[in-house]
Amino acid sequence: MRFMILIKANKNTEDGVMPDEQLLTDMGNYNEELVKAGVMLAGEGLHPSSKGARVKFSGDKRTVTDGPFTETKELIAGFWMWQVKSLEEAIEWVKRCPNPTGVESEIEIRQVFEADDFGAEFTPELREQEERLRAESASYLVDAPRFEDAPEMVIAGLNSSYTFAERGQIPAQWARLAPHLGNVPGQKGTAAYGVCWNYKPGCGFDYLSGVEVNDAVKLPEGFAQVRLPAGRYAVFTHRAHVSTIDATIDAIWSKWLPHSGRQAADSPSFERYSESFDPQTGMGGVEIWVPLQA
C-alpha cells in the first residue's frame, strides 16, 4: 500500500523560516531510516505559497491566482511518498518523525489509489497504458545515494575505448578479464571496478575493468592502470540485473545530478562490484560511484 504523508504548513513555514542545523540532521537521519527500511519512495519540502499559484477550473475557463494564500491550515509544507503494509504501519512511522517544523505541527496520512481501486471502468487498455507509463517513469528513478569520502586508489586491468553506441560491448571486456581476477599482482581486496574515464563529450569514453592494486606493481602484459583521486562521492546501489546498469547510470547523470544541486568533479566515475555480486545471476553487490566537487 502506498501513502502520501503531508506535512501541514504553519505560520513559520509560510514566513519562510528555515529549519536549523539540528532539525536538518534529525530529519536526515529519519529519512535514512525510511530508505533503509524500504519505506520511502520520494520526499520533498515545499517553498511557501507566496512562491506558488493556483489555477481554478470552471468549464473551459482557467483563472490563475498568485500566492500567498491565507488559509494556512489547508496548505502543505512538504510531503513523502511511502510504501508500507498498512495504515497502522504508516502511523507508527509518522509517530517516530522528528517535529517537522520545530513548533506545533501536524502531519496528514492519505492512501494512494491503486489500479484495482477503480473497478471495471479501468479497462485492460487503460491498465496497460498505466503500466507502460509507470515503467517508463521508473527508468528515470534511482535510489537515494549515500555519500562517502574515498581514499586514492589505483585500479589496474583491461582498458578499451567506446562510443556511447558501443557500450553493449563492455560485458565482453569483463569476460576477457575474468581469468585474471584474484591473480593480479599486488591486488588489494576482492572487489572489481569498472572505471569510466577519458570522457570525450559527444564522442565516447575509455572503460577500464580491473581491480585495486598496490602502486607501482608489475602488471600483466596488456594491462593499464587508472589512478582515482581521493575525494567525495555519491554512491548509488544498482538493484536490478547488471544488464540494465546503463539505464541507472543515465538516470544518475541526466536526472539525479541536475536536480541535486551538486556538481560532478572532473575525475573518473566507477562501478564497484563487491564479493556479493553473482556473475551467474547478474544480481547483487553493484554500486555506482560519482565524484563530487568539494
Q: Which amino acid is at 250?
A: D
Q: What is the pLDDT of residue 63?
A: 96
Q: pLDDT category, 93, cuts 50, 70, 90? A: very high
222-268 pLDDT per residue, tens: 999 999 999 999 999 998 888 888 888 888 888 788 878 889 999 99
Cβ–Cβ under 8 Å, residues 233 and 145: no
More confident residue, 216 or 111: 111
Q: What is the pLDDT of residue 140?
A: 55
**Phi and psi (nearest 5°) for 103?**
-125, -160
Q: What is the pLDDT of residue 139?
A: 52
Which position has the grid cell 587508472? 226
User: Mean pLDDT over residues 118-142, rounded?
Assistant: 72
3-31 pLDDT per residue, tens: 999 999 999 999 999 988 999 899 988 98
Cβ–Cβ under 8 Å, residues 271 and 247: no
CA distance 72 to 101: 14
Residue ranges and CATH numbers for the domains of the chain are: 2-112 (3.30.70.1060), 147-292 (3.20.80.10)
Q: What is the mean pLDDT of the chain?
A: 89
Q: What is the pLDDT of residue 36?
A: 79
Determine the 3-state secondary structure of 86 from DSSP. coil
Determine the 3-state secondary structure of 66 from DSSP. strand
Contacts of 128 (CB under 8 A, 6+ apart): none
Neighbours of 291 (CB within 10 A): 19
Counting Cβ atoms within 10 Å, is residue 234 exposed (0-12), middle (13-18) or buried (19+)? buried
